[in-house]
């Protein structure tokens, strides 16, 4: 089993739709969590951190459930420019520094 698992998609949605991505992680000692965005043939860039209480940044909402070891990202009112791959990222500094990236979920937003 992979340490961080995501639905690979692709998700094909129309503009204006709401789409949710899920991510599960296996290391209960994981300490911090992030969503990164990666455009085709580009480097990953931080989209948002994920806090225990949940957090929102404009149209994006991230949730963390430590008990279930589950992270989610909700995108409301999807734009064409949201088309990208979304990477779930988990950090652990127990027993050595460790950052694990999920394989990513591909999103296509269509007009």
Partner 1 sequence: DAGITQSPRYKITETGRQVTLMCHQTWSHSYMFWYRQDLGHGLRLIYYSAAADITDKGEVPDGYVVSRSKTENFPLTLESATRSQTSVYFCASRLYGTSGAQETQYFGPGTRLLVL
Using CB under 8 A as the criterion, which residues of the chain lie in contact with partner 1 when the complex forms? 31-32, 34, 42-46, 49, 87, 91, 93, 96-99, 101-104
Shortest separation between residue 63's beta carbon and partner 1, angstroms:
18
Shortest separation between residue 40's beta carbon and partner 1, angstroms:
12
Non-local CB neighbours of 31 within 8 Å, separated by 6+ positions: 91, 92, 93, 94
Q: Whose Cβ is closer to partner 1: residue 84's or residue 102's?
A: 102
Q: Whose Cβ is closer to partner 1: residue 63's or residue 92's?
A: 92
| Strand order across the 70-75 sheet | 4-6, 19-25, 70-75, 60-65, 55-57
């Amino acid at each position: 089993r992979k340490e961080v698992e995501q639905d690979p998609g692709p998700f094909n949605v129309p503009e204006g739709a709401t789409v949710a991505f899920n991510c599960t992680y296996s290391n209960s000692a994981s300490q911090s969590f992030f969503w990164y965005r990666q455009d085709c043939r580009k480097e990953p860039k931080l989209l948002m951190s994920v806090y225990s209480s949940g957090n929102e940044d404009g149209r994006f909402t991230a949730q963390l459930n430590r008990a279930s070891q589950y992270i989610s990202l909700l995108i409301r009112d999807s734009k064409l420019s949201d088309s990208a791959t979304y990477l779930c990222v988990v950090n652990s500094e127990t027993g050595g520094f460790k950052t694990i990236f999920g394989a990513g979920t591909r999103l296509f937003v269509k007009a």
